[in-house]
């Protein structure tokens, strides 16, 4: 079975930028260590991507904090993480879940037996969104989330998202 790792939104703004937290900073090395367990061709990432008009979008009206604006330092994936991921395996997304990445994973699953492990930020927004999206596309493949490589907006929201994923038959380790 081919094991795939999805690294969700390990970008500067979510680590120590406009939406950063101590919890996010504390998982960076765990994520690096996890990536090193996988062959590079089996590591994929998402990159939250917003434009200059972010505050006028639906998301921006609900979360009025500019973040991950295309071309900004905050938009970049942390350099020591990006160095481990092939650039062609990075999927920009303008919302919480990446349909394009889910479709790519589905293509792979139709050709060979795979499992998916997920890490990243934020557990309660983009990690859970991508996990449920992939589960919807591929209900029979094993999907897991390494909780030591994720951080939520708050510790309580992180734990609530982990419980939601458990309820949806995603293995939380």
Q: What is the pLDDT of residue 117?
A: 98
Q: What is the pLDDT of residue 125?
A: 96
Block residue for tokens 């904090």: 65
Model pTM greater than 0.95? yes
d(CA 168, CA 173): 14
Task: Say if residues 64 and 55 touch (Cβ distance below 8 Å).
Answer: yes
Q: What is the pLDDT of residue 99?
A: 97
Mean pLDDT by 10 residues, the chain (173 residues): 98 97 98 98 98 95 95 98 98 96 97 98 98 97 98 97 98 97
Q: What is the pLDDT of residue 35?
A: 98
Query: For 20, phi and psi rounded to 5 degrees?
Result: -75, 165
């Amino acid at each position: 079975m081919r094991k795939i790792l999805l690294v969700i939104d390990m970008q500067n703004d979510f680590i120590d930028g406009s939406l950063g937290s101590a919890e996010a900073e504390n998982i960076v090395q765990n994520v690096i260590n996890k990536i090193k367990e996988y062959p590079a061709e089996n590591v994929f990432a998402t990159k939250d991507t917003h434009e200059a008009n972010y505050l006028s979008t639906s998301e921006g009206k609900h979360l009025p904090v500019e973040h991950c604006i295309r071309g900004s330092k905050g938009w970049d994936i942390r350099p020591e993480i990006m160095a481990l991921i092939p650039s062609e395996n990075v999927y920009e997304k303008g919302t919480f879940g990446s349909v394009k990445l889910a479709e790519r994973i589905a293509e792979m699953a139709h050709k060979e037996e795979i499992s998916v492990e997920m890490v990243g930020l934020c557990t309660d927004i983009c990690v859970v969104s991508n996990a449920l999206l992939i589960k919807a596309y591929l209900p029979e493949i094993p999907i897991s989330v390494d909780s030591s490589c994720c951080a939520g907006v708050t510790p309580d929201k992180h734990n609530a998202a982990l419980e939601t994923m458990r309820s949806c038959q995603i293995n939380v380790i």
